[in-house]
């Protein structure tokens, strides 16, 4: 049984893939090769799209290397004293009344 004309893949007049096919191929290439600069993966035919992959990947690697070279070294961790720290002095005049009452009742229960 012969295929109908409408079942044949769409081809551009020059024998290449149409714009929809090229867009679908480009999206598939970008998903398959995420370490590329997407704006550089271009072409008007399949061969041009495939040929643009390597320059796009090389540009991506250059950008990554430049960013890594520009990153400053991690800052040193802050020094934290070991053990218990001295209690923080609290001004009773600055405490709300409910907190004063809570602290007073807690002191009675302990002592």
Rg (CA), the chain: 34
Per-block average pLDDT, block size 10, for the chain (111 residues)? Answer: 42 62 93 93 92 95 89 73 74 87 83 58
Residue 50 lies in a domain: yes
The answer as to whether 100 is a domain residue is no
pLDDT at 11: 45
Residue 16 is predicted with a pLDDT of 57
Structural domain includes residue 94: no
Half-sphere exposure of 41 (CA within 13 A, CB side): 23
Residue 13 located in a structural domain: yes
Is 97 inside a domain boundary?
A: no
* Structural domains in the chain (count): 1
How far are the Cα atoms of 15, 36, 95, 109, 111 from residue 100, in angstroms, in the given order?
Answer: 87, 63, 7, 14, 17
Helices assigned H by DSSP within the chain:
19-32, 46-70, 97-110
Q: Whole-prediction pTM value?
A: 0.50
User: Domain range holding 36?
Assistant: 9-70
Q: What is the pLDDT of residues 7-26, one digit of tens each?
A: 444 444 454 568 899 999 99
Q: Flag whether 75 is in a domain.
A: no
45 domain-assigned: yes
């Amino acid at each position: 049984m012969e295929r109908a004309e409408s079942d044949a893949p769409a081809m551009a007049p020059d024998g290449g893939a149409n714009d929809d096919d090229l867009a679908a191929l480009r999206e598939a290439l970008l998903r398959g090769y995420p370490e590329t600069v997407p704006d550089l993966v271009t072409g008007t035919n399949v061969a041009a799209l495939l040929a643009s992959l390597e320059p796009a990947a090389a540009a991506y690697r250059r950008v990554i290397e430049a960013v890594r070279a520009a990153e400053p070294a991690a800052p040193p961790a802050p020094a934290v004293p070991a053990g218990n720290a001295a209690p923080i002095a609290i001004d009773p005049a600055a405490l709300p009344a409910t907190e004063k009452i809570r602290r007073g009742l807690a002191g009675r229960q302990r002592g």
